[in-house]
Chain A
Amino acid sequence: MNNFEPLIAVFSCHYCSYAAADLAGSSRIQYPPNIRVIKVPCTGRVSSNHILRALECGADGVYVAGCLEGTCHFISGNFKAKQRVQHAKNLLSQIDLEPERVQMYFMSAAEGARFANVAKEMTETIRELGPSPLGRNKSE
């Protein structure tokens, strides 16, 4: 348990959070290597099914990172994503999994530091929650 390294899937939109991750890179802002980014054109492309599938396939946590509220490149995709993340959280509670394993974040393409901080924050949150019972780190 002490050396539990969370595995976290991130759905990043092309226009904001993926660009923020690139900026974190070109600014050499360091963050824990626990996240795996899956790029989508808009966070509105992400369905609750995708989030649940990532958990089912071994992620200890999943977050969707979209544009700042009101500045979505596709107008309202990030709001849709927020609803779907909430839906996934509700489903997790129903099967007694911590809803905190799934989160929605908003950031602009200029916020490389925020991307890194969110990656850190999520890694810490999941580290405290411990391995997902569905994950690769399951106890048996």
Chain B
Amino acid sequence: METELRIGVFVCHCGINIAGVLDIEDLCDYAGTLPNVVTVQPNLFMCAETGTSEIKKAIQEHNLQRVVVAACTPRTHEPIFRASCQEAGIDPYFFEMVNIREHCSWVHRHEREGAQAKARDLMRMGVAKAVFLEPVETFSSKVEPKALVIGAGITGMSSALALAGEGFEVILLEKEAELGGLLRHLHKIAPSEVSAAELIGEKIAAIEKDRRIKCFTSATVDEVSGYVGNYTVRFSCGDESHTHKVGAIIVATGGAPLKPTGLYNYDGKRVITQSELETKLKSGKIEAKNIVMIQCVGARIPERNYCSRICCMVAIKNCLHIKEVVKDAKVFVLYRDIQAYGVENEALFLKAKEAGVRFIRYSLESPPVVEEGTVRIYHSAMGKEVPLPADLVVLSTPIVAHDDSESLSRTLKVPVNKYGFFLEAHAKLSPLDFATHGIYLCGNAHYPATVREAISQALGAASRASTILSHEAIVRVGTVARVDQDLCSSCFACVKVCPYQVPRMDEKGKAAIEPMQCQGCGICVAECPAEAIQFGYVSDEQIMAACEALCA
């Protein structure tokens, strides 16, 4: 096999990014000595039109069967070169990328000799691996044009309405007895001053009117199986159990403000939370004249080391509302840092200061002390502790994940972070997607968000879901594991190890992996003692070939 293969190697200068550190001529000469390599070509910018057309030309001229590009990171540029291979008529997976920029020239600028040796090694490993590359097939399956939205707060309702507006059927689940989520308890929303009750009222009315949305309250998700385009969901509402087929799932389960039990003498009467204050503001019942708010209660501490982002704006908004109701109220906000991002929030922050709200900074080492009728705080500008009169103390607590987020994460087989918030596939590249195809997330379920952000995310998630639902069938690239049943010894190792519970024992008692469900992690491939599971995308041969080429 090896003698017949024809490999082309392309080495990128990347301007001076690579060529400024590495000797490209030497790398080309070296690549020419490697087994199966029939042509080596340098290029100033491999990813530019001139570079890719050189690759395509060389594939045809030299009848290449494998292409190796030594350039930057495959995480950004692999698709470009795969496309070039495909356009020139060879399988896009007969392509291997060697990272000599991020992993070499950029990080070893002062050790040219070592860098050069490393680049040679990496190229040798890449070429050795390329010999064992395999074509990757594609699979197709029908899409169920219906979505499941879990959670009917402002986020879930917005997603459901957006999807219904595009003509898709939606199953909307709410675990509480009524729709509306967190906003049911809130007063007005900053910075737009929209009433929370009106906002959710409009959404609920729209949902009730829309025949495409089927809404279930007091509902819990029991079981989810299947794969993108074709999920089967079983959920129960009270004693009833329902099963539906859906093509995509949106997680909009929200979060809840932390109950500050045991913190700052919290009693729910004289010391209350911001959401309890909003309930008071809603009914207009505020008698207190001296009000002290404490920020970051139970947040940004070692055991809950994140900023809930929205509490600063909630506090500032509520200060202004208090000032409207009780004109001569004295309001102090004790904070660690103020999170008032964006033009409108910054303007509200200024407005609060102008209205006479006093902001005093404290540090984690000297937190305020809440006593009967006063709050003592160390004032760093005065260099001493000052007592503040306080008829009412309001604690700003962070949004925390719901207790059941972990059990839902297990049902859906999607990850949560250590605070129980759902974890996206990539913070920048796929902020609304889970790694599992066809499942999306938005709103407080992911991370504390303002109403405006939650709605934007909800619309984004709906848009992501509709990229699946709008197709009749979905084609998946088969970067998946496959069982050679002749080798399978029915040991169940793959069944036990798969984080997505995809492998199962079929009627012959042999393991089977549904390609549409496989996520392509390769965990079962490494686990199978009989080496019965094939994974052409990253095969054992390829990994071993790279290992064997570590030394010249």
Contacts and interface: CB of A to CB of B under 8 A. Distances in A.
Interface string B448-476: 00000000000000000000000000000
Interface stretch (B209-217, B392-400, B517-525): B517-525
B538 A41 contact: yes
B75 A7 contact: no
Interface in B480-497: 497
B118 interface: yes
15 contacts: A15-B426, A15-B435, A21-B103, A33-B118, A37-B122, A41-B520, A41-B522, A42-B522, A44-B523, A45-B521, A54-B547, A70-B417, A73-B415, A77-B521, A135-B551
Nearest to B522: A45
B294 interface: no
Interface of A: 5, 7, 9, 14-15, 18-19, 21-22, 24-26, 28-34, 36-42, 44-47, 49-50, 53-54, 56-59, 70-77, 80, 84, 109-110, 116, 135-136
A103 B390 CA distance: 56
Question: Among B101, B115, B426, B526, which residue has the most Cβ atoms of chain A within 10 A?
Answer: B526
Contacts of A59: 547, 550
A48 B254 CA distance: 41
Interface in B78-123: 99, 101-104, 106-111, 114-115, 117-118, 121-122
Contacts of B117: 33
A30 B103 CA distance: 10
Nearest to B112: A33
A53 B521 CA distance: 21
A126 to B, nearest CB: 14
Contacts of B546: 38
Contacts, number: 150
Say which size band chain B's interface belongs to.
35 or more
Contacts of A53: 544, 547-548
A24 B101 CA distance: 11
Contacts of B415: 70-73, 75
Contacts of B550: 7, 9, 36, 54, 57-59
Given A25-B106, A74-B435, A57 B548 contact: yes
Interface string B409-428: 00001010110000101110
B499 interface: yes
Contact of A136 (B497, B500, B551): B551
B138 interface: no
A28 B107 contact: yes
B74 interface: yes
B104 A33 contact: yes
A36 B413 contact: no
Contacts of A54: 547, 550
B417 A74 contact: no
Contact of B435 (A25, A47, A73): A73
